Amino acid sequence: MTSLTRLESDSLRRLEDLRKTFDRLRAERIRAEGEVERLARDLEEAQKLAKAELGTDDEVEIRNLIEAATAQNAKLVEEFSAALHEVEARLQQLGEER
């Protein structure tokens, strides 16, 4: 058997390095495909849940619902705060009348 030339040896070494890279990239692709499948299932599940709980799975509509709920909560907090101040003022007034 004849010995390999330097060029052939370099080519074989390079091919072996390329095979390792190829195998690593193939494994990464398989993991990525699995992740995409999992995320697609998660998205579908989240959309079903949103549809059931909010009546829509549209992102813009959900954002509008959240903004409306946040505004309503802020209004209710202000009303509660005003009611507490009123009770506090009445109690103070009663204390002064004694």
Domain boundaries, the chain: 1-56, 58-98
pLDDT at 65: 96
Contact 56, 63 (CB under 8 A): no
pLDDT at 30: 98
Distance CA 75, CA 81 (A): 10
pLDDT at 32: 98
The rounded average pLDDT for each run of 10 residues, N- to C-terminus, in the chain (98 residues) is 79 94 98 98 97 96 97 98 97 85
Distance CA 61, CA 51 (A): 11
pLDDT at 96: 83
pTM of the complete model: 0.60
pLDDT at 2: 60
In the numeric block, the tokens 């004849």 are attached to 2
pLDDT at 7: 85
- Tokens matching residue 94: 């009663």
Distance CA 86, CA 37 (A): 57
